Amino acid sequence: MATALSGRELSASSLRGRHVLLDFWDSWCAPCVEAIPKLKKVYDRYRDPKLRDCRDCH
């Protein structure tokens, strides 16, 4: 079980059957922050109803 930044709880079973994109980063990591717009472009390009956006899951 994990808690998203939004406050909702996520469980592995709630993600079953979906593609999950996990991006672990922190605000002090300049390369990580620089990669966010690129990751968003990839997410938007390949977005699929089965893809769960877990950018706010850490």
> What's the distance, Cα to Cα, between the start and end of the chain in Å?
11
Closest to 2 (Cα-Cα) out of 20, 27, 26, 29: 20
Q: How far apart are CA 38 and CA 11, in angstroms?
A: 27
The pLDDT tens digits along the chain (58 residues) read 777 767 778 788 877 887 777 778 788 889 888 888 888 888 788 777 666 555 544 4
Please provide residue 55's backbone torsions phi and psi, each rounded to the nearest 5 degrees.
Answer: -65, -25
Q: How far apart are CA 56 and CA 9, in angstroms?
A: 11
